[in-house]
Every structure is written in C-alpha cells, then in structure tokens.
Amino acid sequence: MKLEVRKKMPHLDYLKPQLGEPIMPDWGSQIVDLIENIGWEGAVDYYGYVRSDLIPAVDVALNLGIPTNRFKEVHSKNAYFKSLFVEDPIFIQSRVSLIGGQVNTSTTANSKIFPSDLQVIYDGKVRLQVKSDVDNYIYIYHTHSQLSNVSDFALLDSILANKLTEKEITVLANDYLNAMVSNNANLTLILYNIGNL
C-alpha cells in the first residue's frame, strides 16, 4: 500500500487501511513520519506547533476556546479585534505593569498623592483608576523625560463621589507622574502602565 502525503489534510483518517487490503512493512514507518511532521503541511503538527496560518474555513463561525476551556496565556506581537458595533479595531497591548497605587488613603487637598513621583516603564499609556468618597477633581503632574524633563500640570477629570473613574494619558518610558485632588478625601488611585508593542 503506497501512502501519499495530502497537503493540508485536517485529519489522518485516510491512513486507515481498507478492509481486505494488505498492510506492508513500511506502512508503520510512513505513519510515524506523517505524525512527526516529516513532509506534513498541516497548520498544526502532532506536538501542537503551528506551522502555517490558522485560517477559519468560514467567516465568523468558529471559536478559539470556550468559557470552560480557556487558553491560559496568549503571546502575540500584534492583536487586532473589531466589534460589529465599533468601526475602529481594538488594539490589545500585552505589556501591563502596576506602577503605583494608594487604596482608601486619606489625602489632603492640593497636595501630591504619592510621596515621590512614579516612573513610567514602557512607552504607551498610563491608565488611572480613581475613586473618592467626595466629589472631586483630579489633576496630573507629568514630567516628560524626552523634553529635558519639562513638567506639565493639568486637570485630568472630575470625580463623582464613590464612583470609579478611569482615564488614560500618553507617556514615554522614564517619564514621571504624580497626582493631586482638589478636596480632602479618602481616595483610591491606581496607575497601570500599558506598553506599546
């Protein structure tokens, strides 16, 4: 029985011998060769390595994982997703680092929240999550490392009492940040650095 490697075959069913066909001595070796990806041109080999593009056979019909069987990690240079309801694609950035935080801390109006300015790790964005027990305004101090340490001070947003507010600012690695609120408060403020890929 002569085996022929079929390009991009999604399964090995064609290797099953037909009823009454003799099995020749080299048949086992040929099966092992195919399983070990010798001459095999499938997208994923026996060991799970992807050898070519994974392209769905039909549009918007297949899932990658399910709620009960999820992938633990996804590593990618670029990832683009587009919602049916949003025209602009969502760009997922993989490098996220917590650069500082204060949780339910008593803060004084018009004073820097962090004792020393926080250093940015990656070029990209810093996302601020802030919650105050009183209506407030949050201001940001931004020292630009690429502009001879020029500093900006600006109103970032208003905060409604006990409502979580999220804001993002564009940053470069080695910039420094701090924040201030306009009223005395019990405040939670967390800063995440989301790096460009």
Residue 50 and residue 112 in one domain: no
Q: How many domains does the chain have?
A: 2
Burial of 37 (0-12, 13-18, 19+ CB in 10 A): middle
Q: What is the pLDDT of residues 21-55, one digit of tens each?
A: 777 777 777 677 666 655 455 677 767 778 778 88
Query: Which CATH number belongs to the domain containing residue 130 in this structure?
Result: 2.60.120.1300
Structural domain including 173 reads 95-195
Instruction: Note the pTM of the prediction, 2 decimals.
Output: 0.55
Residue 180 and residue 102 in one domain: yes
59, 128, 125: which is closest to 91 by C-alpha? 125
Residue 57 and residue 99 in one domain: no
Residue 68 in any domain: the answer is no
Higher pLDDT, 181 or 7: 181
Residue 57 and residue 100 in one domain: no
